[in-house]
Structure 1
Amino acid sequence: MTSRTESPSPSRAGPYYIAGLAVASVVLGAVAWRYGRHPDLAPLLLLSAMGILSFNLREPTVTSRIGFSFLSIILLASAAILGPFGAWCVGVVSQAIERDPKVMWFQRVFNIAMTGIIGLVGAGVYLAVGGAPDLEQVSGFSGLALQVGVPLIVADVIQCLTNAVLLSGAITLFQGVPFWVFVRRVLVSSGVAYVGYGVIGFLFVVLWFPVDLGAFSALLIMAPLLAARWAFIQYGEEVRSHERTVDTLVTALGTKEPPAVPRSRRAARLSEWIAEELGLGPHQIETVRYAATLHEIGHLGVPTRLLRRAPEAVSVAERRVIDRHCVMGARMIEGIDFLEDARSGIRHQHERFDGDGRPDGLAGQDIPLAARVVAVASAVENLLDAPGDVPWDADTTDIARALQSDPGRFDPAVVTAVLAVLEKHGRPHGASTGVSR
């Protein structure tokens, strides 16, 4: 798993983090060469070639900010077959061939350093917990299990944790995502995959030495590797299909109310930041983002003349029609399975924390969390978008004063979170035109 940061804007500590990681990787590689065993050239070249192949066959858009390849399997096998220095070399070489012009230089440096460290750490853990340094001496089922299988599983777990920690450190410094939130997101996204990595890596090692197939085992192992890649591609395509569905709905809204599109995008980004600040899990963050993106989809059922009318020119009866958009929006996406959890966030976005809201008069924690987040995010978006309200260059004090001017409207915890993320990230990008509702 490698970094795919979006429009990086590193904090002051970001470059130092990457530089430190690069230096640590080089130093650890040098120590492994000086004090560890030197791998044979033929298996080193073969496993490096497989590492490069896995990088080129990677699925880069499986989920937000991260992508998958089967490089971790190659690194795990290298830990047992080549030792620490060999595994470090495989990790470094596999990432060093990056040619994508969209990947910035410091991302390349980070990926090379991180993958080298992951390979070396896995090999070190394998040896530390009793893994056989000479696989040719391993014999019998118990020998395979205790001297190869168990150490590889432990190394697999530590590689997974190392990947999550190093990657989360970069994302935290470059994008401001809370560290433990992203650690959890990586583990949830890749934890099950790493179990498969361990099994396939063990099979690779067994075929190479105890079964004595040598380099031919690389051909045999390609079948499950390509099957794993196919599974990742299918999952990634499902995620992209969900995104296309949401984009289609937003586009439909934009044909009727063009200013709603940038508003929805900014509200979604702000809601995602809030959810991360609150420490929500990956599924909850996704639910919040979908709800925020589609929080105005019910405007498709509101007469266009009302949407274009200035707020002060809207009558009480017309305001009631406009305010029903949240209920209509929830009905519009009914039956779309992956949006089912987001429906409550759309329906209840106008509830009040004190229970005096609509449509159902829910109060406090009874209001779905997605709805509480969307309510605050859309309110901030409205404040920043409406002429004469809160200017885009206003500090968070002005926004806090505006949000707190109506006691009982919002969840205080969500208000605190949004003020924190605005200080951390600034305003969501983009500017909109027209009157926001």
Structure 2
Amino acid sequence: MLSYVSATVVAAAVLGALSARFGGKFDVAPVLVLCALGVLSANLAKPRVASRVDFSFLSIILLAGAVVVGPLGTWVVGAVSMSLDRSPNVRWYQVAFNAAMGSLIGAGGAWAYLLVGGAADVGGLMGLNALGLNVGIPLIIADIVQCLINASLLSGVIHVSTGAPVRVLARQILVSSGTAYIGYGVIGFLFVILWFPAKLGAFSAVLILAPLLVARWAFVQYGEELRSHERTLETLVTTLSRKDADAVARSRVTAQLAEWVAEELALTPAQIGTVRYAGALREIGLIGVPWRVLHRPPELLGDPERRVLSGHPQVGARLIEGIDFLEDARSGIQHQDERFDGTGRPDGLAGADIPPAARIIAVAGEFVDLTQPRRGVPPLAPEVALARIADDAGRFDPRAVRAIADVLERHGWAVSVEGSQL
């Protein structure tokens, strides 16, 4: 981690030196205005709109800074704004990385703007054609460059911390934040027009701030909706824990493993979320299984009791019916016992007709079941469990089997007497 942070800081220092030497004029007053806005943005509570994406004004400020204050000014704005983030429990090397990342994004976008012919003196430009060609299009390029730098640096640091594949992380970040960067580009262009052709200068920040606060409020509402989904999920899991605490532990680990597999298969962020929900609620149908059946040793179960126990996926699907955000996950839960060759339950679906979430949690759930001690049955070693899954021809999606082997090699797997742990 420290090596990655150090490399990022060195890269930022080099770009800062180049910006100071070749980046043109440095106007203190507008830099101070943009720094103040950047610090405000960095220290406002950020509504989280995806697992790794926050809504922040800073990207807009850095993009406008490419035109307003040039490479060196934007380098300073990015470094100052990110280094003065007052988030709790932030360690020194995190501050260093954030400051370096802010300066790289800011100066990188500013250099991209200049290198593709962006106008350094916007005040004399008049008319939409001139502004579009000399400011708008170069700003689009700068916006793309900033988006790519952001995704590259974030995916790199997450990879160093967790071992998750860079290409998957970068893709997730780009898909999640790409739409936001389109909005950043539009607002950044408006910021520049108000600052120069409209001759409002620093007052343009006031006009820009109002709609940004409205947008932030909308993102807060969306974030609250996502947190409401998590609370609903936790309530369902808590209900299951009162019936079978071990099932909850298995489901939580299955959810994490299934999420890794979904990332390895390059599913979209929405699909990955569906897989995680389906994994977490994989055994929710056990709520409907009588206690005497659920906790009786398997060898003592009669055929009717086995049918009740094996039908828990369909019970689980019925239990969460009507919960809109779990609708896609519901089909994954319902069809987790389908076989890839079409001979499974409940509908005999085959191949790609089986929902992706069902195919993934089938593999992840089986691996967790095999590697966790259950009712006196000793766990298998991970490599033995993987071999058994691979040898069960026709049951699992071959792509999911290969993906789980890859993610386990990358992340590792440990089993304790309390159950499987990642």
Q: Same fold (TM over 0.5)?
A: yes
Structure 2 match to 1:419: 405
Structure 2 match to 1:239: 226
Aligned-partner SS, 2:48 = strand
Structure 2 match to 1:4: none
Distance 2:240 2:349 in 1: 28
Offset at 1:189? 1.4
Aligned-partner SS, 1:355 = coil
Determine which of 242, 246, 252 is the counterpart of 1:265: 252
Distance 1:106 1:430 in 2: 33
Alignment of 1:168-317 (within 5 A): 168-317=155-304
Aligned-partner SS, 2:123 = helix
Alignment RMSD (CA, Å):
2.0
Q: Which residue identity does 1:423 align to in structure 2?
A: E
Determine which of 323, 331, 336 is the counterpart of 2:323: 336
Answering whether residue 72 of structure 2 is matched by residue 85 of structure 1, we say yes
Structure 1 match to 2:21: 34
Structure 1 residues 250 and 143: alpha-carbon distance in aligned structure 2, compared to 1, 3 A threshold = same
Answering whether residue 379 of structure 2 is matched by residue 379 of structure 1, we say no
Distance 2:310 2:389 in 1: 19
Distance 2:184 2:45 in 1: 14
Q: Is the 8 A contact 1:271 1:292 kept in 2?
A: yes
Q: Is the 8 A contact 2:47 2:216 kept in 1?
A: no
TM-score, normalised to structure 1, is 0.91
Q: Is the 8 A contact 1:377 1:418 kept in 2?
A: yes
Structure 1 residues 73 and 45: alpha-carbon distance in aligned structure 2, compared to 1, 3 A threshold = same
Q: Is the 8 A contact 1:271 1:377 kept in 2?
A: yes
Q: Which residue identity does 1:331 align to in structure 2?
A: R
Q: Is the 8 A contact 1:184 1:282 kept in 2?
A: no
Q: Which residue identity does 1:154 align to in structure 2?
A: I
Offset at 1:365? 2.4
Aligned-partner SS, 1:219 = helix
Distance 1:301 1:368 in 2: 24
Offset at 1:293? 0.7
Answering whether residue 396 of structure 2 is matched by residue 406 of structure 1, we say no
Offset at 1:185? 1.5
Distance 1:293 1:382 in 2: 14
Distance 1:150 1:142 in 2: 11
Structure 2 match to 1:9: none
Distance 1:101 1:238 in 2: 24
Answering whether residue 347 of structure 2 is matched by residue 366 of structure 1, we say no
Structure 2 match to 1:345: 332
Distance 2:386 2:233 in 1: 31
Q: Is the 8 A contact 2:240 2:286 kept in 1?
A: yes
Structure 1 residues 60 and 141: alpha-carbon distance in aligned structure 2, compared to 1, 3 A threshold = closer
Distance 1:352 1:298 in 2: 19
Q: Is the 8 A contact 2:47 2:219 kept in 1?
A: no
Offset at 1:360? 1.4
Q: Is the 8 A contact 1:51 1:91 kept in 2?
A: yes
Q: Is the 8 A contact 1:200 1:224 kept in 2?
A: no
